[in-house]
Amino acid sequence: MFQSRKSSIIVRRLLQAIPVIVLSTFIVFGLLKLVPGDVAVTLAGDNASDARIAEIRHIYGLDRPFLVQYGSWLWKAVHGDLSSSLVSSESVLSSIERCLPHTMLIVVLAMLLALAIGIPLGIAAASRPGSWTDSFVMTIASLGVAIPNFWLGMLLVAFFSLDLNWLPATGATPISEDFWDAIRHAILPACALAAGGVAEVARQLRSSLVEILSSQQVRTLHAKGLRPSSILWRHGLKNVSVNLLTVISLLFNRMLAATVVVEAVFAIPGMGNLIVNGAIHRDFPVVQGVVFSMVLIVVTLNLLTDVLYSILDPRIS
Amino acid sequence: MTDTALAIEARPSRVSKFGKWFRSDLRGAISLIFLSILVVMSALAPWISPYSPLAQDFDATLAPMSAAHWLGADDLGRDTLSRLIYGGTASLYASFLAVFVAILIGVPVGLVAGYLGGWVDEIISRIIDSFLSFPAIVLAIAVTGALGIGLTNGMISVGIVFAPQLARLVRARTLVVRHELYVDSARCFGASTSRILWRHVLPNTIQPVIVQVTLLLAGALLAEASLSFLGLGIQPPNASWGAMLARAYQNMEISPEQMYPPGLAILFTALAFNALGESMRVALDPTMKRR
């Protein structure tokens, strides 16, 4: 009985995700409609031959009605055919396969850093609200939100690469080739990316912990004579750990966005590099491909969070 | 006569209320003063900056701080202080433009979804959800790529990307307000839907919007810096803080100090917008007063 209710929640979540996924693909394709003037002429660039314009028109099927264009694009996209670059004519899917691991390595490393630093800071702040520790942590958090990631990256390069010569300033190594070298290259970008994450984790954890620690239930535990540390660990953290899931999935979305600029600082050939070059050269299949794959990653992750959430938290039904 | 008496009485009380807030919330007050100075400086840029932001002094390329160039000069010998002031004008203009676009799209959409409810709300909410699952800057870059590169197009894109956040907020607030008695009574008196929305619902949803808009200004400032750093925002030779950082980064090994002025300017301005937003949230929300 209990099991079947859980699984029906999961099925319902899956069904709810479908309209979001469909609408997202519609937005990705609809980007093309924002191109001013004749899309084929604009995308072909200056001094393009008529044959080239006709070719682009054919790629997008621009002479057909919009919904038919969208349908055929979506059909090809779900079968892994994201068309090919208008500049290098490399298949967009293989570009993404080449670039995505670099981006994911930085994002995952940044996420681990954000949790490893943010969680202790949040606990320290919440266990004594209003203290010096608390205001120190909250100041760090405000700075972490306001500092431009790429500027932090530049500062890190100036200090750790140029002054101390500890870590490489730019470039990346595929993790499949040399694990430790890949990590060495990813440390500074991950630190730059993690600043906002540390702030977000510390803040969220602090506010939900403070709320729980000031609740009636916890006051009763104090009255019963339990040690404050055991109240914090057993009752406080157990209750807020579920909230952390939501923060993680939100952070993932933000970090995927922020990594685009951080990659530019560290000259990492990741997804950011791909989409920025695509946007500058109006290489639209590449731009659409990157946005499409990123939104797919985010939606999948959100779904996974929702499912985990409903499994972990018995109150959700 | 009674009106005048009331007006005279109301005036000092408003001033003293402001003074009380000023003393009770030092962080918010400092932020407000900082931002006001910034706006005034941006408006007066042509009169207060020591040089033209485009004037090149080839004897001063990558010069350190000096009496002639207070903050040094960039690789083309352009005065950093002047470019910082002009760049501030561009960065602030860009932030306000993006947030203006977000308000223009987000507020009406949220009002309509929340007030009409039903299938209209269902569809609009799903569209908002979809937009929110895009990483913001990535979508902004894609929209800029479509519209064409440049500061104005870039910030319109950022505005489009921010709009769903406002729409969701306004929708949630409208859902609460639309069942209030004054809305019902306006409807009974035969007011049209647009009049109800404009005169009765909008004024009562505006407070959280003001807070969110202030926070979004910080986000827009960081987005402008990111886009211009990537070369998708402001185009040379014009300056914005993000573009100055890109320039400074190219010359980092020779003259690392060039990256401090624009970076600190972005950091402090974003901090001020965030702090002001938080202050207003506390000031406008009676339930948070006790903290």
Q: Cβ–Cβ of A146/B270 closer than 8 Å?
A: yes
> Do residues A202 and A251 lie in contact, with contact meaning Cβ atoms separated by under 8 Å?
no
A264 touches chain B (CB under 8 A): yes
**Lowest model confidence (mean pLDDT) among A22-36, A178-192, B2-16, B150-164:** B2-16
A188 touches chain B (CB under 8 A): no
Structural tokens at position B89 = 């004008």
Round to whole Å and give the CA distance between A139 and A154.
22
Amino acid at B269: T
- Name the residue of chain A whose CA is nearest to B129's CA: A20
Round to whole Å and give the CA distance between B96 and B43.
14
**Contact residues, B window 250-269, toward A, CB-based 8 Å cutoff:** 252-253, 256, 259, 263, 266-267
Unique residue bearing structure tokens 């001094």: A47
State the complex-level ipTM: 0.84
Amino acid at B278: E
- Name the residue of chain B whose CA is nearest to A163's CA: B253
Q: What is the mean pLDDT of residues A88-104?
A: 86
Q: Cβ–Cβ of A260/B226 closer than 8 Å?
A: yes
Summarised one tens digit per residue, pLDDT across range B48-99 is 877 778 777 767 677 777 767 677 777 777 888 888 888 889 999 999 999 9
Q: How confident is the model at residue B291 (pLDDT cuts 50, 70, 90)?
A: very low
Q: Cβ–Cβ of B147/A36 closer than 8 Å?
A: yes
Query: Which one has a higher pLDDT value, A11 or B162?
Result: B162
Round to whole Å and give the CA distance between B200 and B194.
10
Residues of chain B neighbouring A36 (CB-CB closer than 8 A): 147-148
Residues of chain A neighbouring B245 (CB-CB closer than 8 A): 148, 150-151, 154
Summarised one tens digit per residue, pLDDT across range A257-282 is 889 899 988 888 889 889 998 888 88
Unique residue bearing structure tokens 């979506």: A74
Residue A1 has pLDDT above 60, yes or no: no
Q: What is the pLDDT of residue B95?
A: 93
Residues of chain B neighbouring A287 (CB-CB closer than 8 A): 141-142, 145-146
* A100: Cβ contacts below 8 Å, ≥ 6 apart: A270, A271, A293
- Name the residue of chain A whose CA is nearest to B267's CA: A147
Q: What is the pLDDT of residue B286?
A: 61
Bridge partners, residue B60, by sequence: none
Round to whole Å and give the CA distance between A68 and A42.
21
Q: Give Cα B77 distance to the centre of its chain.
A: 31
* A304: Cβ contacts below 8 Å, ≥ 6 apart: A249
Best B222, B224, B259 member to test A by mutation, with max A CBs in 10 Å, is: B222
Residue B162 has pLDDT above 90, yes or no: yes
> Do residues A85 and A99 lie in contact, with contact meaning Cβ atoms separated by under 8 Å?
no
Name the DSSP letter for residue B256: G
A104 touches chain B (CB under 8 A): no
Q: What is the pLDDT of residue B213?
A: 92
Q: How confident is the model at residue B2 (pLDDT cuts 50, 70, 90)?
A: very low
> Do residues A82 and A93 lie in contact, with contact meaning Cβ atoms separated by under 8 Å?
yes
* B42: Cβ contacts below 8 Å, ≥ 6 apart: B85, B88, B89, B92, B93
Q: What is the pLDDT of residue B16?
A: 72
Q: What is the pLDDT of residue A52?
A: 78
> Do residues B143 and B160 lie in contact, with contact meaning Cβ atoms separated by under 8 Å?
yes
